[in-house]
Amino acid sequence: MRVSWPDNILAHFVVVVGLISAVTPSPFVICDRRSTLSTPQPIEAQCNSTSQGNVLTPRREFGLSIDTFAALGDSYASGLGAGQVLDRTCRRYHHSYPYLINTDPRLGNGNGRRFEPLTCAGATIRDVVERQIPQLTTKFDVITITAGGNDVGFGKIVDTCIFGIGTNSCERTMAAGRAYINDVLPLSLDRLLRHLGTKITPDTGRIYITGYAKFFNPNTPQCNFVSVSLLGRKPLDHYHRQKYNDLIDLVNAEIKDAAERVGPRVTYVNYDPYFGHCNGRLCEVGINEPNVNRPRLLFFERGSRDVSIPNQDSGVVVLVKRRFEKITSLFRLPDSDLRVFHPRSTGQRIIADAIIAHMEQDKAKTMGFESTLLNHVYCPL
C-alpha cells in the first residue's frame, strides 16, 4: 500500500483463458426461515448446526450470473505479490481477489463477461474517485472495492511502529491515523460510494466494499520480545500489537458504517475473522516468530515466499507473465519488499470466497428468501 500512484494510468485488460479447477468451497446453501442466526458462524458450520434450538435445514442452492464486473482499489485489491504479476505499473497480480472472483465458476459462465480491473497499488480514496472510476466504460452488475488504508497511513504506521523506519514516534504516527479516521475518513468514504453508485446497473447492481485484516494475534506472550524491525529495536509486544489491531478495527467500523448509510445495494465484507480463525496472523498460538514461510501464514513477512492455492491454476492460461524478482517500484524496492503485510495468495483466496458468499446471499434475498450467511470460506491449507 505504500507505492506512489503513477501518472497517466491506463486500464490494462489481461485475458485469462479457461476456468479454474480449484478446490472451491461448498455451494452456498439457504437454510430455512426458522434460523435466527444473524452473524457468520464458524467456518465449519453446516446446516445441521443449531442456534437457540432452531435447526438449520438446507433449502436450495443459488447460482450467480455476472455479466459485468469491475474491481477498484489499492494494493490489497491489486494483490501485490500474490501469484504472477500481470501489470507492472499498478502491481496487479493474478491471485488478487478480483481475478480469483472473475475466474470462479460460481459466477457462472465467464465467456463474454466484461471484466475491468483498475486496482492500483498506492491508490487513495481520492485516486479511486478521480482516476479509476472515470475509466469505467459501462454500468456494472458488480463492483468490488478496497480503499482507505493509504489514506489512514497504514504504510507509515508499519514503517514506524513495526520496522522502526522514520523520524516520527510510533505514538505520533498512530495518533495521526486515528485523527484521520475520526475527522476525514467518513466523508471520503461517502464521496467514494456516491460516485460508485452511478456506475452500477440500475436496480440490480451491487457494490462490495471490504475492510482490512488485522496482522496480529495480540494475546500470545511469545512475541513480546520478538522484533521484525530492521534495527531489532521494536518488539512485537502486546501493547503495540493491540494498538495496531485497534486501528484496523476503527477503519473497518467506518467502512461498515459508510456502507450502511448508502443502503442495501452496498455490502460491507468483513473477512478479518477468517484470518484469525485460520491462524493466519503473526504471533499465533504455538508459533515462534519470525516464521516467515509457515503454510498457514496469510500475510507476507520479510523473506516470505508466496504459497500456491491448491489446484488454483489448473486449466488456466495467463497470457501476461513476467519474472517477479525484476519488478521494482519508484523507490527501487522490489515487490518482494513492498508486499510485506499484504495477503499471500491464500489470503486473497479467503477474501474472494468471503465476497462470493455475500454475492450469493444477496441473490437469495432478491428471490425472497430470508437467508443466513453460512460460511463457505475454508482455511486454504
Give per-residue pLDDT as tens, 143-193. Answer: 999 999 999 999 888 888 888 777 788 899 999 999 999 999 999 999 999
Between 321 and 366, where is the model more confident? 366
Q: Which residue has the cell 440490480?
A: 204
pLDDT digits (tens, 9 = 90+) for 43-98: 333 333 333 333 333 334 567 889 999 999 999 999 999 999 999 899 999 999 99
Question: Are the CB atoms for 309 and 347 separated by under 8 Å?
Answer: no
Q: Which residues contact 94 (CB under 8 A, 6 or more apart)?
A: 14, 16, 79, 83, 84, 85, 86, 318
Mean pLDDT, the chain, rounded, equals 79
**Structural domain range at position 332:** 16-366
Query: Looking at residue 25, what is its pLDDT?
Result: 36
Residue 2 lies in a domain: no
Give domain status of residue 85, yes or no: yes
> Would you tell me how many other CB atoms lie within 10 Å of the CB of residue 25?
18
Q: Taking residues 328-337, what's their average pLDDT?
A: 58
- Reduce the DSSP state of residue 210 to 3 states and report it: strand
Ranges of beta strands (E only) in 211-336 are 266-269, 317-318
CA dihedral of residues 161, 163, 165, 170 (deg, nearest 10): 10
Q: Does 25 reside within a domain?
A: yes
- β-strand 85-87 against 92-93: which pairing, if any? antiparallel
Q: Is residue 117 part of a domain?
A: yes
Q: Output the nine-digit C-alpha cell for 106.
A: 460460481
- Is 53 inside any structural domain? yes
Identify the pLDDT of residue 332: 53
Residue 30 · residue 365 · CB < 8 Å = no
* Residue 339 counted as domain residue: yes
CB atoms within 10 A of CB 13: 12
**From CA 236, how far away is CA 228, in angstroms rounded?**
8
Q: Rounded to an integer, what distance in angstroms lies between the CA atom of residue 285 and that of residue 241? A: 14
Cis ω on the peptide bond leading into residue 310 (within 30° of 0)? no
Q: What are phi and psi of 152, to 5 degrees?
A: -75, -25
**Model pTM score:** 0.80
| Cβ atoms of 208 and 355 closer than 8 Å | yes
User: What are the start-end ranges of the E strands in 74-187?
Assistant: 85-87, 92-93, 114-117, 142-146
Indicate the number of domains in the chain. Answer: 1
Number of neighbouring beta carbons within 10 Å of residue 227: 18
Do residues 265 and 207 lie in contact, with contact meaning Cβ atoms separated by under 8 Å?
yes
- Residue 290, preceding peptide bond in cis (omega within 30° of 0): yes
The three cell numbers of residue 162 are 513495526
Handedness of CA 70, 73, 76, 80 (dihedral sign): positive
For the ranges 14-28, 77-91, 173-187, 245-259, the lowest mean pLDDT is seen at 14-28
d(CA 54, CA 33): 10
**Which cell goes with 370?**
430470508
**Four-point Cα dihedral 246, 296, 326, 321, nearest 10:** -110
277 belongs to a structural domain: yes
Summarize the confidence of residues 224-249 as an average pLDDT. 83
- Say how far apart CA 339 and CA 97 lie, in whole Å: 15
Q: How far is CA 267 from CA 332, 358, 363, in A?
A: 37, 8, 12
Closest by CA position to 49, among listed 66, 69, 34, 70: 34
**Distances, alpha carbon 290 to alpha carbons 193, 284, 378, in Å:** 39, 11, 25
**In the numeric block, which cell numbers belong to residue 306?**
508466496
The answer to whether position 3 is within a domain reads no
Length of the chain: 381
Task: Compute how many other C-beta atoms are within 10 angstroms of the C-beta atom of residue 105.
Answer: 14
pLDDT of 42 higher than 70: no
Per-residue confidence at 263, pLDDT binned at 50, 70, 90? very high
Query: What's 145's domain CATH number?
Result: 3.40.50.1110
End-to-end CA distance of the chain: 26
Q: What would the grid cell of residue 1 be?
A: 500500500
